[in-house]
Amino acid sequence: MRIAVLAGGLSAEREVSLRSGRRVAQALRNKGQEVFEVDVDADLLPELRKINPDVVLPLVHGQVGEDGSLREVLDVAGYKTVGSPSAAARIAFEKPIANQVAAAAGVFVPKSIVLPQEAFKSLGAPALLDSAISSIGLPMVVKPSHGGSALGATVVKSAEELPAAMVTAFSYGSVVLMQPYLIGTEIAVCVLEDKSGVKTLPIVEIVPDHDLYDYDCRYTAGMTEFFVPARISNEIANQANEIAIRMHKALGLKDISRTDLIIDGAGNIWFLEVNINPGQTETSLFPQAVNAAGLDLGEVFLDLLTNLDQ
């Protein structure tokens, strides 16, 4: 097969995506495939025309890659593509909207305040921040409504830290989400879909050095401890698997997804988000889940690439 692996792009996660692309491209070459690594820029379509791939595998993180727009372009240009349809991606990418889908599907979602930058300016920031603290409490998480790798996300422990956290989050997007800081066990549940249906991979438990599983903890070896399978009861694991599958279906996702969850001290499982293009770097969660399942990364992607029903 001639496979075009798309990576890079212009988002803040460009470097992460390039690493994901390189890793998966190599895994597919090891399976005897002809793989072309394509950086996503204005020359994308002419370049794809030259390559003339049988199928396209997008591994671009962040805006354009995960908000449905790249997929829309590939569909219009007529390429067979792995992953979620653009309409579903658009919903999953915007955390406040995905949260609403999760809540409607009966999944616990942390109480959230969603503030667009415009409202923040025009309604009087100081008063809004005081009200937000009363409503959400401290500590809280302030994060951009979309994006990834925890970029722009901060744990706010005192009222004085809130304005700076808002500025940081707004620098990654024009809408900001404020949530209570959940204390518990963070897990990620990877979902794979094939002709026989939807299945989950072993759950990854994440124990970062920092308060959040932030950029440093993700991409610096040794800053996070992982446990696969997660050190949780079978009952909680079954519930978490069921939630990830429920979200994959409720959002209309396709082929692959990863749901991020936190289990609190009472055993309640809280929804953080779903990723349609989970990271595939050396320290990423999805490849760890693949390993723990006794599968080969190249094999997993080859299955997705060969089972496309478009």
205 near Mg ion, judged by CB under 5 A: no
Closest separation between CB of residue 147 and ligand ADP, Å? 6
17 near ligand ADP, judged by CB under 6 A: no
Q: Which residues pair with 114 in a beta bridge?
A: 177
Answer whether 38's CB lies under 8 Å from 24's CB.
Answer: no
Size of the site for ligand ADP (CB under 6 A): 18
212 binds, among Mg ion, ligand ADP, none (CB under 5 to 8 A by kind): ligand ADP
User: How many whole angstroms separate alpha carbon 212 and alpha carbon 214?
Assistant: 5
Please identify which residue in 59, 251, 260, 288 interacts with Mg ion, judged by CB under 5 A.
260
Part in contact with ligand ADP (CB under 6 A); list of ranges 6-14, 20-28, 144-152, 191-199? 144-152
In the bound state with Mg ion, the residue whose beta carbon lies nearer, of 90 and 143, is: 143
User: How many whole angstroms separate alpha carbon 13 and alpha carbon 281?
Assistant: 12
In the bound state with ligand ADP, the residue whose beta carbon lies nearer, of 58 and 110, is: 110
In the bound state with Mg ion, the residue whose beta carbon lies nearer, of 115 and 187, is: 187
* Interacting positions 225-284 with ligand ADP (CB under 6 A): 260, 262, 272-273
Phi, psi of 149 (to 5 degrees): 55, 25
In the bound state with ligand ADP, the residue whose beta carbon lies nearer, of 35 and 92, is: 92
Part in contact with ligand ADP (CB under 6 A); list of ranges 64-72, 141-149, 191-199, 293-301? 141-149
Please identify which residue in 27, 109, 136, 182 interacts with ligand ADP, judged by CB under 6 A.
182
Residues with Cβ within 8 Å of residue 59, at least 6 apart in sequence: 5, 6, 7, 17, 20, 21, 24, 65, 277, 280
Structure tokens at 183: 């204390």
| CA-closest candidate to residue 284, choices 213, 193, 232, 184 | 213
| CA-closest candidate to residue 238, choices 269, 198, 212 | 269
Residues with Cβ within 8 Å of residue 16, at least 6 apart in sequence: 61, 148, 149, 219, 279, 281
141 near ligand ADP, judged by CB under 6 A: yes
Closest separation between CB of residue 19 and ligand ADP, Å? 16
Please give the distance of CA 246 from its chain centroid, rounded to a whole number.
Answer: 16
Q: Residues interacting with Mg ion, by CB under 5 A?
A: 260
Q: Residues interacting with ligand ADP, by CB under 6 A?
A: 110, 141, 143, 147-150, 153, 179, 181-182, 186, 212-213, 260, 262, 272-273
